[in-house]
Chain A
């Protein structure tokens, strides 16, 4: 191991790019006894990187997934699924309110219609959501 480590160390020093730093500062600390001040430094560094994100913060946070999926449900691509779901909701809820129950499907639920709609909406929202999240 030692041999290869020294080679890769030399390579790292010579290469124009550096390796990802997720671990490196912490490793140094493992060796360092008085590292408390260092971790503080690190914390402040992290904070410096962030402020751009905070602008977006509003009073009430809105979940981007919900927002995109609502938009997607109204989109043209999901219109058939939405239509079927709405129709089912109509049918099932009206059956509860004294209307004659559909003889063929007495215990109908709208799970399948819900699945189709949810599938359509979440597939459509997935890439947008990933752009919005960190």
Chain B
């Protein structure tokens, strides 16, 4: 509001100055020298008005122009570093070997605290595991079956259509086991946080050996620069050689973090590979159709573009 009115006032001032120049010119040309229309005074008035306009703008900027930071840097958290993820490129798919390793990390490390409630065993088939492997994993867990004749609900081994089991019965149990902090579900975590993959990777690998001096955190919180507020209830979980990869990849902390993050990216958008392929198809078919339409247009217009309009003026009057 203020800015607009300030602008408007400066515009009217400019108009006024132009007017002043005109009148002074006219005064000069008509050579009637009157004291109050002296060019010096008018110029002074214009200059002063412009100075006031600029001053008011500057004042406005001083009051409202600069960005306000309500949060301190600590509360904001360190912004995650950008990593050159291969699967983020437009023509690249997930690395399914990495997905398989990432699932292993989730299963052996994260799954004791975090659920992955949107992923059924069947969706791992053909992505990270074969049918038989997925079936075998599902059968390791027990699920409620249909009520039997007495109405009792018995347990049955898991099937491909079952979802990955939750580590806790409910959120309250999860909180109680984790010092009051709820380990969030990881299915959509990559989409749920600013920075996505970069953030989670930085979070998992970003625990410094000791917090910088002067930091005071409440009991039960761990220092992690990437977590807003820097005090996170999850302690560092990944250490070198915590898991043993079946393909022999050295299980360093950052390798495990990278794999599990790529896996979590898959769990958040399992359709990504297909989506990129579909996007390419759209582009290819679209460009082909466009080219076709250009040729068709040329074809249809050719009679009109190549016609020649001749005008033979009628012969007027008689012969001379």
Could you list which residues of chain A lie within 8 angstroms of chain B, going by C-beta atoms?
Answer: 20, 22-23, 25-27, 29-30, 35-36, 39, 42-43, 46-47, 49-51, 53-54, 56-57, 60-66, 85, 88-89, 92-93, 107-115, 118-119, 122-123, 126-127, 129-130, 133-134
Contacts and interface: CB of A to CB of B under 8 A. Distances in A.
4 tightest Cβ-Cβ pairs between the two chains A and B = A109-B214, A22-B96, A65-B254, A114-B212
Interface residues of B, number: 44
Contacts of A89: 212-213
Contact of A107 (B127, B206, B214, B258): B214
Nearest to B99: A22
Contacts of A113: 212
Given A89-B213, A109-B215, A119-B78, A130 B84 contact: yes
Contact of A126 (B83, B206, B250, B253): B83
A111 B254 contact: no
B93 A22 contact: yes
Contacts of A35: 130-132
A100 B230 CA distance: 28
Contacts of B208: 114, 118
A85 B251 CA distance: 31
Contact of B132 (A29, A62, A64, A66): A29
Interface stretch (B161-169, B180-188, B240-248): B240-248
30 contacts: A22-B93, A26-B126, A29-B130, A29-B131, A30-B126, A39-B132, A42-B130, A50-B248, A53-B250, A54-B250, A61-B240, A63-B252, A64-B254, A65-B252, A65-B254, A66-B253, A88-B213, A93-B213, A109-B212, A110-B212, A110-B213, A111-B225, A113-B212, A118-B78, A122-B81, A126-B81, A127-B84, A129-B254, A133-B252, A134-B255
Given A114-B212, A115-B225, A64 B81 contact: no
A105 to B, nearest CB: 10
Question: Which residue of A49, A107, A126 has the most chain B CB atoms within 10 A of its CB atom?
Answer: A126
Interface in B98-144: 98, 125-127, 129-133
B248 A112 contact: no
Contacts of B131: 26, 29-30, 35
A39 B133 contact: yes
A92 B211 CA distance: 13
Contact of B205 (A22, A36, A42, A65): A65
A61 B250 contact: yes
Determine the main DSSP class of A at the interface with B: helix
Interface in B6-61: none
B127 A23 contact: yes
B127 A111 contact: no
B123 to A, nearest CB: 12
B280 interface: no
A124 to B, nearest CB: 9
A127 to B, nearest CB: 6
Interface string B203-247: 001101000111110000000010000100000000011000011
B93 to A, nearest CB: 6
A50 B250 CA distance: 11
